[in-house]
Chains A and B, each alone.
Chain A
């Protein structure tokens, strides 16, 4: 019973590099979310998706891109990494959005130097 899985767990990037954070869920959830959490702060929504082929911006989308070609996968792409993107990234999924619990992956700890 995997739930939400994220890879990698840790990553160090140099400024200007690009990478994709992977997120997969096996619960057949329609809604998926990407958040970032800076030290001592709450989670900020980067992008979310209400189903395959549909994505929308959250509170802090700049510097990121997403795609949702399948129900299971919701990768987050960082282009031209900057030190301000150093954070912990959480992916989450939910069966029907607003009224339902979100299940989170274990997070990816990213450092940009």
Chain B
């Protein structure tokens, strides 16, 4: 079993749709959680950190459930510019990072 598993996708949605991505992790010692965005053939960039209390940044909401070892990302009112691959990242306290394989989102007009 992979340490970090994401919905395989791809997700193809119309503009304005709401879409949710899920991610599970197996290491209960994991300390920090993130969603990164990666555009085609580019480097990943931080989208948002994920906190136990949940956090929101505009149209994006991230949730963490430590008991179930589960992370989610919700995108509301999808825009064409949201088309990208979304990577779930889990860090241990020692600084080691584990990336999921990513979920690809295509938003269509």
Contacts and interface: CB of A to CB of B under 8 A. Distances in A.
Interface of A: 31, 33, 35, 40-45, 48, 50, 56, 58-59, 88, 90, 94, 97-99, 101-102, 104-107
Given A97-B91, A99-B91, A58 B96 contact: yes
B12 interface: no
B102 A104 contact: no
Interface of B: 4, 6, 31-32, 34, 41-46, 49, 87, 89, 91-102
A104 B34 CA distance: 14
Given A43-B87, A50-B95, A104-B45, A99 B101 contact: no
Contacts, number: 62
Contact of A98 (B6, B45, B91): B91
A104 B43 contact: yes
A99 B96 contact: no
Contacts of B4: 42
Given A33-B97, A45-B97, A101-B34, 20 more contacts: A31-B95, A41-B102, A42-B4, A42-B6, A42-B101, A43-B87, A44-B99, A48-B97, A50-B94, A88-B41, A94-B95, A97-B91, A98-B93, A98-B94, A98-B95, A101-B46, A102-B46, A102-B97, A104-B45, A107-B42
